[in-house]
Amino acid sequence: MTRSVQKLTSVSHPLAGESMTGAEMVVQVLADQGVDVIFGYSGGAILPTYDAVFRFNAKHQDADGKEPMPLIVPANEQGAGFMAAGYARAGGRVGVVMVTSGPGATNTVTPVRDCMADSTPIVVICGQVPTGAIGTDAFQEAPVSSCLGPVAKHTFLVTDPEKLEPTVRTAFEIARTGRPGPVVIDLPKDVQNWTGTYRGEGLLPVPGYRQRLHAARDNELSDAKCAKFYGMLQASRRPLIYAGGGVINGDATEDLRRLAEHFGIPVTTTLMGIGAVDTTRPLSLHMLGMHGLASANYAVEDCDFLIAVGARFDDRVAGVPERFAPRARNIAQFDIDPSEIGKVKPVDWSHVGVLKQDLKAILDYGIRHRITPEFSTWHDEIAGLKRTYRLNYDRESELIQPYAVIEAINSITGGDAVISTGVGQHQMWAAQYFDYKHPRLWLTSGSMGTMGFGLPAAIGAQFAVPDHLVIDVDGDASIRMNMGELETATTYGLPVKVLVLNNFGDGMVKQWQKLYYKGRLSASDKSLRKKDFVKAAEADGFEYARRLERKDDLERVVSEWLNFPGPAFLEVIIDPDAGVYPMVGPGLAYDQMITGDYIPNRAQVSEDDIDGSSMF
């Protein structure tokens, strides 16, 4: 072991001391990390490692020919990145991408940035030209560290083959720990072909990173700090938990639910926090924010103690920070990332640590000291908000309403399906109208808002949870971005259900153009496009591919589509003027929310009050 490698464990690996190529070492570390699927596209600079994966699978396949680490080949590398993201989010494990150099690597920039923005753990292994050729503009060379470094949690360029094995192991450690994120390994071809001795242990020294991890882990809540928290809770009459994606990433959903249920604290979640609480429960307010439910946003307006858990007060939630939760006398914030504390909104109490252990500690303190606040009046108010300002739409329309489609699906799935989406109106409708009883059922591109995410993410999710129903809710514009992945679903026999809500264009863009640009549909109207989605799905091997155009056929066709045993595709022609409501415009507070024609509004707000110059 070199001096620059830290020892991982004293238990000897069964293959320790064996001679392996660098490529074989990479594959063995992947196996040691529990990797059971790799998403990627081959090419010259990554061929040695692809060959090593092939040989590993051939050697270790079971009696039925099942491979322990199958290589899933997408239509392009962006699809591979989103598949890994879907796998990671649905399964709670690190997704793995393996691509070649040059365009193979640069095609992963968008999914890497997407994973960074939404704290999703993936490891991207990029082939690279030989070390001696780096910097010479060699064939299919790209400066991976320069391209991906700014958008990844960390990047490694392996030039010393002795450090290859610990580098791969450390990449997984960084990806999954702390605030999760994407890690990139730039792997020259000569390092893959190098032969050395496998150690089966060891990590790179990353002392600063591990010190921050240990600081968060060891920063346990003191009794004095718990007492201050409960002092604010007991002084409150209208407490509200505002939960974000950090709760799900930190596997802290059960701890959050126990805390909320024990003290009777209502919970609203961000877009990325959907599933942190069961949305069918009485104290769940579902999603808040720009397109959050009116009841949730009004609860934020009314609360007097806001408890932020794994949430970062981003601009989709707190567009006007000084007017967010205006009646809250106190704000508390739990997070694992110290940079998020007070970054947007000043807080009165905060704790940086591991959410799972911190939520357990705060609940244990409350139980131990028999703290029993009484919030029945607040519960009645919450029930009233949910009843009065519930989601609604034109149920008498002769056109198929997208909300009705989702309600029909939800009546069958009952809040237990994995829902993946693209980005746009359909994304918001899926967030609003589906129920989510468990975490990791909701997969979407939140911070980046990347169109084309839905289909490949659904494919990745199906590999992570093969026995679960996985549905891609997509739009006609969004699915075009990665439509080649339809063939990936059928190639691997994945029973993914693909729904395209077709309103003939970029629906969210059109909504804003109709409201604030006098209906000038600049580059957003696709009604003249010639794409036949059903024929495209059939050409890619979908045995069930239907178009739904009649409202009377809705329930029957949705049932057929969901119950089809293999991959199934359904295009629904929806009302092209259907909008996303409620809506809080950029630069506006929740008391300026507009709710459309079918959801009540407790303030007199006009759509003209929104500044259309700030997109979405």
Higher pLDDT, 3 or 48: 48
Task: Report pLDDT for 16.
Answer: 96
Instruction: DSSP for 103-121, please give it.
Output: HHHHTTHHHHHHHHHTT--
Residues making up the chain, counted from first to last:
616
Q: How confident is the model at residue 603 (pLDDT cuts 50, 70, 90)?
A: confident
Q: How far is CA 539 from CA 483, 490, 552, in A?
A: 12, 10, 28
Task: State how far the Cα of 91 lies from the Cα of 443, in Å rounded to an integer.
Answer: 11
Residue 267 one-letter amino acid: V
* 587 in a structural domain: no
> What are the φ/ψ torsions at residue 344 (nearest 5 degrees)?
-110, -45
Q: Does residue 275 contact residue 417 with C-beta atoms inside 8 Å? A: no
Task: Report pLDDT for 2.
Answer: 41
Task: State how far the Cα of 188 lies from the Cα of 191, in Å rounded to an integer.
Answer: 5
Task: State how far the Cα of 418 lies from the Cα of 471, in Å rounded to an integer.
Answer: 6
Q: What is the CATH number of the domain that holds 384?
A: 3.40.50.1220
Say if residue 249 is in the same domain as residue 350: yes
Decide which of 184, 215, 246 is a domain's last residue: 215
Peptide bond into 582 cis (omega under 30): yes
Say if residue 39 is in the same domain as residue 187: yes
Adjacent-strand bridge partners of 187: 127
> What are the φ/ψ torsions at residue 179 (nearest 5 degrees)?
-85, 110
Q: What is the CATH number of the domain that holds 52?
A: 3.40.50.970
Task: State how far the Cα of 380 lies from the Cα of 264, in Å rounded to an integer.
Answer: 12
b/e map 273-288, b = 16+ CB within 10 Å = bbbbbbbeeebbbbbb
User: Could you report the per-residue pLDDT of 222-267, keeping only the tens digit for each?
Assistant: 999 999 999 999 999 999 999 999 999 999 999 999 999 999 999 9
Question: What 3 state SS string does 525-592 have?
Answer: ECCCCCCCHHHHHHHCCCCEEEEECCHHHHHHHHHHHHHCCCCEEEEEECCCCCCCCCECCCCCCHHH
Judged by average pLDDT, the poorest of 115-129, 132-146, 410-424, 510-524 is: 510-524
Q: For residue 432, what are the domain limits? A: 402-573
Say if residue 254 is in the same domain as residue 113: no
* 582 in a structural domain: no
Say if residue 205 is in the same domain as residue 226: no
Task: Report pLDDT for 512.
Answer: 85
Say if residue 521 is in the same domain as residue 439: yes
User: Could you report the per-residue pLDDT of 339-383, keeping only the tens digit for each?
Assistant: 999 999 999 999 999 999 999 999 999 999 999 999 999 999 999
* 606 in a structural domain: no
Task: Report pLDDT for 615.
Answer: 46
Average of per-residue pLDDT values in the chain: 95
Task: Report pLDDT for 3.
Answer: 42
User: Could you report the per-residue pLDDT of 423-470, keeping only the tens digit for each?
Assistant: 999 999 999 999 999 999 999 999 999 999 999 999 999 999 999 999
User: Could you report the per-residue pLDDT of 313-337, keeping only the tens digit for each?
Assistant: 999 999 999 999 999 999 999 999 9
Largest distance between two CA atoms of the chain: 74
Task: Report pLDDT for 610.
Answer: 57
Q: Does residue 75 contact residue 482 with C-beta atoms inside 8 Å? A: yes
Q: What DSSP state is assigned to residue 44?
A: G
Q: How confident is the model at residue 9 (pLDDT cuts 50, 70, 90)?
A: very low
* 3 state SS of 462: helix
Task: State how far the Cα of 600 lies from the Cα of 390, in Å rounded to an integer.
Answer: 8
What pTM did the predictor assign? 0.96
Say if residue 424 is in the same domain as residue 316: no
Decide which of 198, 215, 232 is a domain's last residue: 215
* 294 in a structural domain: yes
Say if residue 223 is in the same domain as residue 198: no
Q: Does residue 159 contact residue 127 with C-beta atoms inside 8 Å? A: no
Q: How confident is the model at residue 515 (pLDDT cuts 50, 70, 90)?
A: confident
Residue 429 one-letter amino acid: W
* 67 in a structural domain: yes
Say if residue 68 is in the same domain as residue 206: yes
Task: State how far the Cα of 615 lies from the Cα of 171, in Å rounded to an integer.
Answer: 36
Task: Report pLDDT for 1.
Answer: 37
Number of domains in the chain: 3
Instruction: DSSP for 226-276, please give it.
Output: HHHHHHHHHH-SSEEEEE-HHHHHTT-HHHHHHHHHHHT--EEE-STTTTS
Q: Is the pLDDT of residue 609 over 90?
A: no
The two beta strands, 195-197 and 19-21, are antiparallel
Q: Is the pLDDT of residue 606 over 90?
A: no
Residue 88 one-letter amino acid: A
Say if residue 467 is in the same domain as residue 515: yes
* 3 state SS of 383: helix
Among candidate residues 199, 208, 175, 159, the one with its CA nearest the CA of residue 17: 199
Decide which of 185, 215, 245 is a domain's last residue: 215
* 590 in a structural domain: no
Task: State how far the Cα of 93 lies from the Cα of 53, in Å rounded to an integer.
Answer: 20
Q: The tokens of 610 are what?
A: 């929104």
Q: How confident is the model at residue 586 (pLDDT cuts 50, 70, 90)?
A: confident
Say if residue 208 is in the same domain as residue 257: no
Residue 521, number of CB atoms within 10 A of its CB: 15
* 265 in a structural domain: yes
Say if residue 376 is in the same domain as residue 422: no
Q: Is the pLDDT of residue 180 over 90?
A: yes
Task: State how far the Cα of 366 lies from the Cα of 392, in Å rounded to an integer.
Answer: 39
Say if residue 270 is in the same domain as residue 377: yes
Q: How confident is the model at residue 474 (pLDDT cuts 50, 70, 90)?
A: very high
Percent of the chain with pLDDT over 70: 96
Q: Which residues are catalytic?
A: 77, 139-140, 189, 508
Q: What DSSP state is assigned to residue 363?
A: H
User: Could you report the per-residue pLDDT of 133-154, keeping only the tens digit for each?
Assistant: 999 999 999 999 999 999 999 9
Q: How confident is the model at residue 477 (pLDDT cuts 50, 70, 90)?
A: very high
* 7 in a structural domain: no
Q: What DSSP state is assigned to residue 351?
A: E
